[in-house]
Structures are given as C-alpha cells and as structure tokens.
Amino acid sequence: MELLVFHTDDQYLADIKPLQRYIESELNVRDVVFSSDETLSGVRYSAVADWSILGRKLRSNLARVKNALPNVSSDAVRAYLRTGNITVNGIELVTGDLIVQRFLELPPSSEGQYATHTDNHVVVRLDIQVHPDLLGEWLARELTNRVQKLRKKAGLQATDDVNVFYRFEEGSGADLLDAMKQHADIIRKTVRDVPLDAKEREAGTQLVIEEEQEVADVKFMLYLVRA
C-alpha cells in the first residue's frame, strides 16, 4: 500500500520527509513516495477563471472564455503557469486571471484502486485497496491505541504495570483476535503484552478500569487489572 506525495518544490518535500514514519503509521501504508517529477507522478493541469476579476475585465467576452476553458490542454496550462500568458478562444489572459489546478489523471483500469486529492500545490494519491495483511496491522494498532487511552483515563504512569483483558460478545471479534495473534509484536512494543481473554483473569485481582470499546464496528470490553 503506497502514498504518493507530489510537489514541484524539492525543498518542500525535504521538509515533510521527517514525518514519513508518522504518516505511514496514521494511514497504515507501507511506502510513502515523495516526488517532484510530473511525468512519473502523472500530474496534469487545468485552469479555472477568477470570475470576479475576469467579469470586470472581459465583460461581453466572458462567455467566450468560460465555454473554452474546459478544452484548454494540460500542456497549455502548464505553459501559462511558467510564462504568465495564455490565449483562450482568442482572448489574451495573464497571470492572476486564471487559477491553476494540479490533479492526477488516473486510468480507467485503476478505478477503485486509488483516491487522489489536491490543494492545487500538493497532490496526493493513496492506494485504497483493502490488503488483508495491512488490515490486520491496522486492527492491532487500533487495539493498542484503545489500551493506551484507557491507561491515560485511569491515570496510570508509564511505569505502572497492568494486565489487559478483553471480552467479546459470542461470535464477534474474530478479525481482532486474528490481528492479536498475527501482529503480537506490534502490540508488545506499546503495551508490553498481548491482551488476554477475560476468562483467564485470576480471581481476586484488582480491577483498575473497564470500558466498552469499538474498533471496525465491533464492540467489546477492555479491562485493566493490577499485575
């Protein structure tokens, strides 16, 4: 699973690269690709008019530009961005008349595979396919996040040792249970050990806090118990 981040300024990309691990964790992606190569990234250009400016400037010729803009090529808009001049349906326009937008033109064969977004300067493309292995990693991280929030709610310090138990309703939680088994290392890095079924809790142990949680539309109970 990959996230592509495009920007024309290499320094901008260098400034955000230190956030790569955070981005990978938050979006659950394996790779983040930073690129300023328009051809490699598939970046295209379009232009829309600033009608408040052109309305006063063009008056009766406004409709000529409005009707022609959708047919202006990506290369022509890129050239306008570089030179500050463009002719649209016989009308000369300069810098400030048009708003340039960058976007990714995805082939029809990739429908459902990617999601894209742009703020006209940064363009991102995210692989949105569901990958079973990455889904498991995401579930494991979500579980550890719930445990950490519950520890904080209980006022526990980092050095306070507690055991974590869970209880699912009968017949639910299979995906979460599989994630705990397959990605136990991810969980242990954050909460020291993998949560156990509440049935394994020893009698007489002190309950610190309990709370209902929800991950991926599955509700379950989490318990923190003094070790």
pTM of the model: 0.59
Partners of 170 in beta bridges: none
> In this structure, what are the phi and psi dihedrals at residue 101, rounded to the nearest 5 degrees?
-120, 135
The 3-state DSSP class for residue 155 equals: coil
Which amino acid type is present at position 164? V
Mean pLDDT, residues 11-28 taken together:
88
What gap in Å lies between CA 157 and CA 145, rounded to an integer? 16
Which helix (DSSP H) or strand (DSSP E) does residue 213 occupy? strand 207-215
Q: In terms of pLDDT, which residue wins out, 182 or 107? A: 182
Task: Give the residue extent of every domain in the chain.
Answer: 2-42+105-127, 43-103, 132-226
Neighbours of 209 (CB within 10 A): 15
Alpha-carbon Rg for the chain in angstroms? 26
Assigned token pair, 136: 């498991």
Percentage of the chain lying above the pLDDT 70 cut: 97
Q: How confident is the model at residue 110 (pLDDT cuts 50, 70, 90)?
A: low
| pLDDT, tens only, 138-193 | 899 899 999 999 999 999 998 889 999 999 998 899 999 999 999 899 899 888 88
Q: How far apart are CA 120 and CA 7, in angstroms?
A: 10
| Contact of 21 with 141, CB cutoff 8 Å | no
Q: Would you state the structure tokens that stand for residue 194, as one six-digit string?
A: 């993998």
8 A C-beta contact, residue 198 and residue 221: yes
Q: Which of 165, 158, 162, 155 is nearest to 213 (CA)?
A: 165
